[in-house]
Amino acid sequence: MDISLITYDGLPDLDPDDCLLRDELVKRGHKCHTCIWDDDSIDWSKFDVSIMRSAWDYHLKQDKFYAWIDRVSRVTKLLNPPDMMKWSSHKIYLKELGEAGLPVIETLWVMKGETAGGLFDSLQWEKAIVKPAVGLATFGVKRFMLDEQGRKDAQAHADHLAITGDVMIQPYLTSVEDYGERALAFIGGEYSHTVRKSSFQKLAPGGHAGETSVPTDEEEVAVGREVLKFLKNRPLYARVDLVRDFEGKPKVLELELVEPSLFLQFAPPSAPAKFADALERIVELHKV
C-alpha cells in the first residue's frame, strides 16, 4: 500500500511515535510518505490510505481543517474516519458521554457569543480550569483560585474565549499533582498501555513533555473500554485521558480520536505491529 502519515509543519519529520509506526509499515513492504496536512501541493488521491497522526495545529485552523477532512476523504481512505475525527475535535462530546452514563469530569459550558454571567459566583470549587472546547495541550487553558478576585478573572477569561468559540469550565482536581493524568492508548479498539501525563503539559513530541510509563490499572481500563463501546465504529487509534476525582474515582477528561500521541516508546514492543495489523484489517474490510 501507499500510505501517508499526516503531520503538521511543526513536525515535518514526524513525531517519534510515527517513526516507530513508519518503520513497521515499511518492514511489511508498504510505502510510507510524510505529509503535512495543509500542504496544498499534495495529491491525496495517490495514497491508498492516509493516517492522521500529528496535525497539532488544526485547532488554529478549524474551518480549514474540517474542509480538508471532507476533501481528502473523498479521494483516499482517511483514518480515523472523517465523522469520528470531527466529532472528537470539539469536547462537547463529554456532554454526550455523560448523558450516556459514562463517568466524565464535571463540566460547565459557555457557548460562543455568550457570557459566563454569574456562573462562577455559584461554584463551590476551590479552583477552576477554564479552557476552549477546541484546543490542544495548554492552548487557552488557565487555572483560577475561586476567591473573589479569581472569580472575576475566571469570568473575564471565559468571556474572552467565548468571543471566538465555546468554553469549558471544570474543577481543578488536585490528584493531577501527584497521581497525574492517565493516558490510556487503544490500538484497533484494544487496550495497549498507559502513560502518566503531568498537569498543564506542554505540546511536544511524544515522550518529551514529562510523560512516564505506569502499570495498567484495571479500573481505568474498564472505563476506557466502556468509552470506546459508546462509539458506533471501532477506531484505528484512540486515547482516553482520565483523572481521579476528589473521591478517587476515574473520570474521563478527554477522548482523543483525531491526532493523539500514543506514546509508543512506552508501549510493549509489539505495539507498532499491532497498529499495522489493525490498519491492514481495516483496509481489507474496506475492499469487500
So what's the pLDDT on residue 204?
Answer: 52
Residue 238 within any structural domain of the chain: yes
Work out the number of other CB atoms within 10 angstroms of the CB of residue 51.
23
Residue 270 within any structural domain of the chain: no
Shared-domain flag, residues 116 and 203: no
Shared-domain flag, residues 236 and 126: no
**Least confident window among 6-15, 65-74, 185-194, 279-288:** 279-288
Q: Which domain holds residue 26?
A: 2-88+277-287
Does residue 203 surpass a pLDDT of 60? Answer: no
Task: Give mean pLDDT, residues 215-234.
Answer: 98
So what's the pLDDT on residue 139?
Answer: 86
Using CB atoms within 10 A of its CB, is residue 246 exposed (0-12), middle (13-18) or buried (19+)?
exposed
Among 137, 172, 207, the domain-final residue is 172
Find the CATH number of the domain harbouring 136. Answer: 3.30.1490
* Count: domains in the chain: 3
Residue 269 within any structural domain of the chain: no
Which residue, among 84, 87, 104, 80, has the nearest Cα to 227 in the 3D structure?
A: 104
Largest CA distance in the chain: 62
Segment (H or E) for 163: none
Does residue 222 surpass a pLDDT of 50? Answer: yes
Does residue 288 surpass a pLDDT of 50? Answer: no
Each residue's pLDDT tens digit, 104-137: 999 999 999 999 998 999 999 999 999 999 998 7
